[in-house]
Amino acid sequence: MKPTPLLDVLGVGFGPANIALAIALEELAPELSVRFIERRDGPHWQPGMLLPGSDIQNHPLRDLVTPRNPRSRYSFTNFLFENKRLYEHLNLPLHYPLRLEYAQYVKWVAQFFAGQVDYHSEASAIEAVEAGVDAPVAHYRVRTADGRLYRARSLVFAPGRTPHVPTPFAAIRDPRVQHLNHYLPSLAKTLEDGGERRVAVIGGSQSAVEILLHASEQAGVAKLVGYTRNFGYRQKDTSPFSDEVYFPGFVDAFHGASEENKARLRRELVYTNYSASDIDVLNQLYVRRYEEGLRQQQRIELRTCQEILDCRPEEAGIELHSRHFLTGEVSCERYDLVILATGFLDLGNGERQEPWPPLLAPLAARLGDLPLSIARDYRVELGSAAPVYFNGLCESSHGMGDAGSFSLLALRSQHIVDSLVQQVTHKLECPRYA
Ligand SMILES: Cc1cc2nc3c(=O)[nH]c(=O)nc-3n(C[C@H](O)[C@H](O)[C@H](O)COP(=O)(O)OP(=O)(O)OC[C@H]3O[C@@H](n4cnc5c(N)ncnc54)[C@H](O)[C@@H]3O)c2cc1C
C-alpha cells in the first residue's frame, strides 16, 4: 500500500490565522510541503456574525500580509485594486471597512491557496508518533471526522478560540441557546415560521451590542432583552496609547513579563477589546431604545447589573432566572432564543480559561505536571518532540493583540515560518515517506 505522504507542515483550521501562514510559507519557505484541513465548506470569516452595516475593528492595512510584506500581492489594497474598487472604497464615508468587504478579501486570498486546502475536513483526533521505544515524537497523525488520515512533522494549530459558555448554560444542549458564532442561522431558524418571538442576548461585548441592534431590526422579534453584569454597556478603551498593545514590541514585552505583571497588564488593558463596544454602536443602541419609547413600541429592554442564576429549557421557551446584584430582585422570563455573546476562552488555568485546546489535550500528558508554556515563536514547549505551534490562541502568553484580532497575524506568521524552517528543514532529517 502506498504510504501516506509525510508533510512538513499540517495546518489545522483555515481561518485568517492559517491563511496568513499560507501566504508566509509561499513567500518565505516555498520548499516546505504543506496542507491545511478546514471543517467548513469553504473560506468564511465569522459567517454567523456577518451583520449588514457592521465594520471591522482593525485598521485595514493590518491585513493578512501588509505589516510583514507591504509589497505582497495578497494585501487588502491589492484586493481592492484587482477588483477595481480602489477609488470607490477610498471614497467611502466610513472609519473602517465593512465586515462584508473584509470577509470577501479573506475569501479572495484563500482561493489562491485552494490547492493546499481540504475543506469539509474536521480534525477529530491528534496522535503523537514516536520514532522508537522511548524516542522523542517524530511526527503527528491527524484523523478527520470522515476517516481521513494525515501525517506531518509539524502542526500549526489554528482552530480559533473555544467559545466561552457561562456556568448556568454549560450543561444545556438545546438549539434555542446558541453562542454568537451561530447567531445569524439560529435567528433565521427562530423566525422562519413567521410568529412573534422573544430573544435574549447575554453579555456586554461589542458583539452583544451589534446583535441587539441587528435583532431589533427584524420584524418577527417582538421582545428583545439584553442582560449584562455591568452597570451599563461600556465603551472600549480606544486611546491610541492603549492601542499600542497591537504593536510587535508589546508582544515582546508581554511575553517576557512575569505572570504577576502579565495579570496586571491584562486587568488594565482588558477594555481595549473585551466587555466593551465602540461608541458608534453604543450610541445607536441608546437612541434606538429611546425612540422606541417615544413611539410607545418598546421592544428593546436592557437589564444591567444582572447575574444569570439559572437557565431551564422548557417546551414553552428557555427560562432565564436572573438577579439584580444591587437590589437583589430576582426575575424569570421565557425566550424563544438566547444568544450567548459571552466571548471566548484563553489558555490557562484561571477563570474563562482552558488548560489546553480540547483536541490537543492528549499531548498534555507528555508534560507531566509542568504547565503549558508557549515560546515567543508560538511553539508549544514539548521538549524534543516534533514541533506544534499555536496560531491565534496565545493571548495569555503573548498579550492582548495576539488572539481575537487581525492586528498581528502577518508578523505572527513570520515568527512561525522562521521557526518552522529551523525546526523542520534544519533539525530533522527524516525521509519524506516513512
Ligand atoms: C464576531 C466577530 C467579529 C470579529 N471582528 C474582528 C475585527 O473586526 N477585527 C479583528 O481584528 N478581529 C476580529 N475578530 C477576531 C477574530 O477572532 C479574528 O479576526 C480572526 O477570525 C481570527 O482568525 P483565526 O484563524 O485565529 O480564527 P477563526 O476565524 O475562528 O478561524 C478558525 C478556523 O478553524 C476551523 N476549525 C476549527 N476547528 C477545526 C477542526 N477541528 N478541524 C478543522 N478546522 C477547524 C474553523 O472552521 C475556522 O474556519 C472578530 C471575532 C468575532 C467572533
- With a Cβ cut-off of 6 Å, ligand 1 is lined by 12-18, 37-40, 45-46, 49, 56-58, 122-123, 158-160, 207, 359, 392, 404-407
Mutate to test the pocket of ligand 1, among 10, 21, 23, 39 (most ligand atoms within 8 A of CB): 39
Say yes or no to pLDDT of 88 above 50: yes
380, pLDDT greater than 50: yes
428 pLDDT above the threshold of 70: no
Residue 132 has pLDDT above 90, yes or no: no
pLDDT in tens, 190-203: 999 888 999 999 99
Q: What is the mean pLDDT of residues 365-386?
A: 86
Q: How far is the CA of 180 from the centre of ligand 1 (A)?
A: 12
Mean pLDDT of the chain: 94
Taking the CA of residue 57 as reference, the ligand 1 atom at the shortest distance is 8
Instruction: Report the 10 Å Cβ neighbour count for 275.
Output: 19
Q: What is the pLDDT of residue 333?
A: 97
What is the rounded CA–CA span in Å between residue 192 and residue 113? 36
**pLDDT exceeds cutoff 90 at 99:** yes
Q: In what order do the strands lie in the sheet with 306-314?
A: 306-314, 317-324, 330-335
Q: How far is the CA of 16 from the centre of ligand 1 (A)?
A: 7
Q: Taking each helix axis from N to C terminus, what angle separates 409-420 and 16-28, rounded to the nearest 10 degrees? A: 50
Atom of ligand 1 nearest to the CA of 393: 26
Give 73 or 427, the one with higher predicted confidence.
73
Q: Bigger pLDDT: 372 or 7? A: 7
Ligand 1 pocket mutation pick from 57, 113, 182, 408 by most atoms within 8 angstroms of CB = 57
Please state, for a pLDDT cut of 70, what percent of the chain lies above it.
Answer: 97
From 10, 23, 46, 51, the mutation candidate for ligand 1 (largest count of ligand atoms within 8 A of CB) is: 46
| The pLDDT of residue 70 | 97
pLDDT of 375: 96
pLDDT in tens, 252-301: 999 999 999 999 999 999 999 899 999 999 999 999 999 999 999 999 99
Q: Counting atoms of ligand 1 from 1, which one is nearest the CA of 44? A: 49
Residue 15 CA to ligand 1 center (angstroms) comes to 6
Q: How close is the Cα of 31 to the center of ligand 1, in Å? A: 27
3-state secondary structure the chain: CCCCCEECEEEECCCHHHHHHHHHHHHHCCCCCEEEECCCCCCCCCHHHCCCCCECCCCCCCCCCCCCCCCCCCCHHHHHHHCCCHHHHHCCCCCCCEHHHHHHHHHHHHHCCHHHEECCCCEEEEEEEECCCCCCEEEEEEEECCCCEEEECCEEECCCCCECCCHHHCCCCCCCEEEHHHHHHHHHHHHCCCCCEEEEEECCCHHHHHHHHHHCCCCCEEEEEEECCCCCCCECCCCCCHHHHHCHHHHHHHHHCCHHHHHHHHHHHHHHCCCCECHHHHHHHHHHHHHHHHCCCCCEEEECCEEEEEEEEECCEEEEEEEECCCCCEEEEEECEEEECCCECEECCCCCEECCCHHHHHHHHHHCCCCCCECCCCEECCCCCCCEEECCCCHHHHCCCCCCCCCCHHHHHHHHHHHHHHHHHHHCCCCCCC
Ligand 1 centroid to 46 CA: how many Å? 6
Distance 160 CA to ligand 1 centre (A): 5
Residue 10 is predicted with a pLDDT of: 98
User: In which band, very low, low, confident or very high, does the pLDDT at 366 lie, cut at 50, 70 and 90?
Assistant: confident
Residue nearest to atom 15 of ligand 1 (CA): 404
pLDDT confidence band for 137 (50 / 70 / 90): confident
- Closest residue (by CA) to atom 37 of ligand 1? 159
Q: Record the cell numbers describing residue 279, joined without a space.
A: 461608541
pLDDT bucket at 433, cuts 50 / 70 / 90 = very low
* Ligand 1 atom nearest to CA at 19: 25
